[in-house]
């Protein structure tokens, strides 16, 4: 699971900022239906609360593509959840192949956050309100391990062996800087660090998925 | 090295196609300075020679971000080359941190393909004409191993052990479908498959980089 992901539409309080108004005009959509993106709205975000952790839709984009294109996901042996810092959780149907281009991905996420689902009758992706704890209570994993530079040092195979159980939930932060909130940390069974360096979420997820495939025996 | 990558500007023969003209107007740049992108120029590419292998700048984008954010690259122990199907080769300076957003990445690649370099006095990325063979002759790797579904089956650690030498060159295709050209295949010492499934280039590169770190001992 990607947790507290920096994926949201432009918050109301930024609606009058010039950088936002320019983008609203360019996109032909109201601000509340456009993804907040630091690369476009940087000037508008300077005074935004927790701004340094927000407006990085590229993180979800990379992770969602990396996971859904992996053999273990395609074999139906891995579920992906993307929890956002606004407590919305995206769930993905098995075999989903999201658009590869960022522009199309962005359009899909904007539609999803507006309508709660995309993909027609099949609901390929759904977005529901719910805190991290609520998702966990619903998914009932056998263990919950967070990955963070602040955790105890383990290799990925060690992490997977320790997580154990049939349905471990592995939690990676979907934000560009900082650490999990206290609320998330309290829900974790353990906190593990897989590198002395801070790693990008997509790099962590790629490595995790690869080691999971080796441990489960997916080819 | 990413080889025969689907990264190029819009070829002249597509200049009059409606999908291209619409994009030229939107971007305010001539077609020859805009990256060919299937997600935007699909209709214009229908009759393009080898069209199914072209117009996927997202592949280079993902791979370049994945490699340059890895600990082994940041430690200066891995060089990245992106060779395109038009025989242009991009070289990246140590410690480069390319833009994370696709729009900015696209702008950077367009400037690079036009001017041959970006990054001011430091030339952070350079683009030079040169065939795959010419790059290899210049880089003088100790061995050259291509990764392809058509190769002999090996795990990644086996591949790295067999490649051996101080400076192996590992070649991944930067295209969405198909296989290496004969010209590339002739230059390879061996061709190896790491999965029974065809994997996205970025997935292959992520896993390769991770195993290289383990084998070299980068933390």
In chain A, % of residues over pLDDT 70 = 100
- Considering the domain boundaries, does residue B2 fall inside one? no
Q: Is the pLDDT of residue A122 over 90?
A: no
The parent domain of residue A128 ranges over 57-216
Q: Which of residues 29 through 48 in chain B touch A, CB cutoff 8 A?
A: 37-40
- Considering the domain boundaries, does residue A3 fall inside one? no
Give me the number of domains chain A comprises: 2
B107 and B31 together in one domain: no
B38 and B88 together in one domain: no
Q: Is the pLDDT of residue A62 over 90?
A: yes
B114 and B159 together in one domain: yes
- Considering the domain boundaries, does residue B42 fall inside one? yes
Of A71, A103, A203, the CB nearest to B70: A203
Would you write out chain B's pLDDT as a tens digit for each of its 219 residues?
A: 999 999 999 999 999 999 999 999 999 999 999 999 999 999 999 999 999 999 999 999 999 999 999 999 999 999 999 999 999 999 999 888 899 999 999 999 999 999 999 987 777 999 999 999 999 999 899 999 999 999 999 999 999 999 987 899 999 999 999 999 999 999 999 999 999 889 999 999 999 999 999 999 897
Residue of A19, A42, A70, A157 to mutate for B, most B C-beta atoms under 10 A? A70
Paired with A168 in beta bridges are A143
B36 and B70 together in one domain: no
B69 and B38 together in one domain: no
Q: Is the pLDDT of residue A4 over 90?
A: yes
Would you state the pLDDT for residue B29?
A: 96
A45 and A117 together in one domain: no
A44 and A113 together in one domain: no
Q: Is the pLDDT of residue A38 over 90?
A: yes
Where are the strands (E) in A41-156, listed by range? 81-84, 88-92, 117-118, 125-129, 143-153
> How far is Cα A117 from Cα B82, in angstroms, rounded to an integer?
38
CATH code at A86?
3.40.1280.10
- Considering the domain boundaries, does residue B1 fall inside one? no
A171 and A64 together in one domain: yes
A42 and A122 together in one domain: no
B112 and B176 together in one domain: yes
Torsion angle in degrees (nearest 10) through CA of B55, B57, B60, B61: -170
Three-point CA angle B30, B36, B41, nearest 5°: 95
Is residue B23 within 8 angstroms of chain A, CB to CB?
no
- Considering the domain boundaries, does residue B3 fall inside one? no
Of A101, A196, A210, the CB nearest to B210: A210
Would you state the pLDDT for residue B165?
A: 78
pLDDT in tens, A65-75: 999 999 999 99
* This prediction's pTM: 0.94
- Considering the domain boundaries, does residue A1 fall inside one? no
B140 and B202 together in one domain: yes
Residues of A in contact with B45 (CB under 8 A): none
SS3 A40: helix
pLDDT, chain A, mean: 94
A25 and A106 together in one domain: no
- ipTM beyond cut 0.90: yes
> How far is Cα B86 from Cα B8, in angstroms, rounded to an integer?
7
Q: Is the pLDDT of residue A120 over 90?
A: no
- Considering the domain boundaries, does residue B28 fall inside one? yes
């Amino acid at each position: 699971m990607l947790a507290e992901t920096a994926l949201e539409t432009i918050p109301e309080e930024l609606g009058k900022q010039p950088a936002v108004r320019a983008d609203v005009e360019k996109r032909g959509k109201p601000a509340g239906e456009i993804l907040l993106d630091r690369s476009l709205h940087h000037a508008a975000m300077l005074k935004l609360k927790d701004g340094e952790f927000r407006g990085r839709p590229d993180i979800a984009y990379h992770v969602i593509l990396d996971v859904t294109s992996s053999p273990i996901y395609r074999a139906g042996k891995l579920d992906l959840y993307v929890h956002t810092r606004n407590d919305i959780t995206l769930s993905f149907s098995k075999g989903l192949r999201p658009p590869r281009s960022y522009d199309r991905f962005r359009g899909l996420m904007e539609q999803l956050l507006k309508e709660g689902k995309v993909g027609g009758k099949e609901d390929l992706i759904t977005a529901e309100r719910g805190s991290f704890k609520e998702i966990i209570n619903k998914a009932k994993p056998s263990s919950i391990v967070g990955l963070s530079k602040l955790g105890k040092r383990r290799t990925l195979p060690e992490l997977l062996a320790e997580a154990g159980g049939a349905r471990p939930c592995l939690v990676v932060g979907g934000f560009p800087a900082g650490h999990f909130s206290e609320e998330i940390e309290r829900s974790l069974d353990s906190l593990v660090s897989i590198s002395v360096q801070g790693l990008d979420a997509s790099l962590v997820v790629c490595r995790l998925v690869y080691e999971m495939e080796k441990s489960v025996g997916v080819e």
